[in-house]
Structure 1
């Protein structure tokens, strides 16, 4: 399988070195500007690798989900159905739900994309990625998810998953991206979050009630795929 599969063993990351201003190296004022060139190269490499990808959907979820978890199977199934609907599947390239989605896409004969990021406690891309890119910087990787995806399907996950969800919602709410559906799979899992948004965030006027329409929640993976397809330009439905 094609792709970068470098293992990350460092206890610190380039993100940490860039963002940590607490007593960093004395020469930071000279080294930080040069990091711009490394950041630029990551954008160039990502744009070049994904330019011809075609329509794609990102699938997110916990790296901690085991292969015997029902949501792992759902991740495989939704990815296979996305491929059958004409989409490539993009994940973070790691274990858990990411591996499930890559596996489903790969076994369905589709493009199975993994966007790996340097972390001190995770290592490389899973075995079902056939187009893989490794990034040092989270913000470069996150740009690739949004630029090359036509929507997000989100299975249960933690902080990283929530980060991707709310970044997508913020971009859609502010008009930075258009026709960008976000579907949460697992009604029971996500119910508390949606109830909290309605009962607290809307109630306090921090979002409009219409902003909740940016989120769909379902247990029906066929519906999730249909929402993605219906949002595509030129779709008649």
Structure 2
């Protein structure tokens, strides 16, 4: 019909946008990880390293001067009129009021909610997007948005520029980020890094399984349960982040004083 626009497929690819016939059937992550197909892909891997390096450089450059930040994860499928969306808005607002930038995956749902809360409170709202087979636009409440081709580059940015994670109810992507964070803390790749689950009804079954299956079978130690905290209270979640951040700063200052004293004694 005259006047109607035909919707063309669209995809973000790093800094670029492609539409129509230029949209590939696969993503850069897929082509990097898939060992099937013509052997010429194998010979192009060294060139992919340059693109991966460029993504790291771009991410480091854009985020280097970011204030202390907290990363919020959660489902992209959460509707705007749901209690979980409102929970995300309140969380983003309180984190901003506590002086933190809020980082999300930049998409809709819970991610949009946390960005919205931060933006409405006058804080810094950051979105780290990812190229997906289906298009997911950066939500409108993001002040600084970066699009990544590779998940592992994006995950590095989440951890490097955050002092803690808060997980709202979510699916596989949220679980992926949650357990990666817990593994990094457990193996001491990152220290003083609080991980908070917001929503006891949603997360309770998972926590019970961790206690009754992982701990009871010896797959993790009882002390590992302390690596994650569960609450329904937004203020409590923010307090956990603030307390851990304060303890980290105090420890670093104590280490610096000890180092100066050691140098002074040596002189």
Corresponding position: 1:179 with 2:192: yes
Q: CA deviation at 1:59?
A: 0.5
Structure 2 residue aligned with 1:198, among 207, 211, 224? 211
Counterpart of 1:49? 62
Match of 1:148 in 2: 161
SS at match of 2:146: strand
1:123 shift after superposition: 2.6
Match of 2:35 among 12, 21, 30: 21
Partner of 2:132: 119
Q: Does 1:61 align with 2:74?
A: yes
Deviations 1:139-182 (Å, cap 9, x if unpaired)? 00000000001000110000000000000000000000000000
Q: Is the 8 A contact 1:118 1:135 kept in 2?
A: yes
Mapped to 2, the partners of 1:178 and 1:88 lie a distance apart of 20
Query: Which one scores higher on RCO, CA 8 angstroms, separation ≥ 6?
Result: 1
Q: Which runs of 5+ in 1 are unaligned?
A: none
Q: Secondary structure at the match of 1:22?
A: coil
Is the 1:39–1:137 Cα contact (8 Å) retained in structure 2? yes
Q: CA RMSD in A?
A: 1.5
Tell me the TM-score normalised to structure 1 length: 0.94
Query: Deviation at 1:54?
Result: 1.6
The 5-angstrom pairing of residues 86-101 of structure 1 reads 86-101=99-114
Encode CA deviations 1:66-100: one digit per residue, 9 max, x unaligned. Answer: 00110100100011100000000000000000000
Trace 1:67-82 onto structure 2 (pairs within 5 A).
Answer: 67-82=80-95
Which runs of structure 1 show a deviation greater than 4 angstroms over 4 or more consecutive aligned residues? 4-9
**Structure with the largest fraction of helix:** 2
Pairs aligned (count): 232
Contact 1:76 1:100 in 2 (8 A): yes
Point out where structure 2 has 5 or more consecutive residues left out of the alignment. Answer: 1-14, 252-267
CA contact (8 A) 1:5 1:125 kept: no
Structure number with greater Rg is 2
Please tell me whether residue 130 in structure 1 is matched to residue 147 in structure 2. no
Give the aligned partner of residue 234 of structure 1: 249
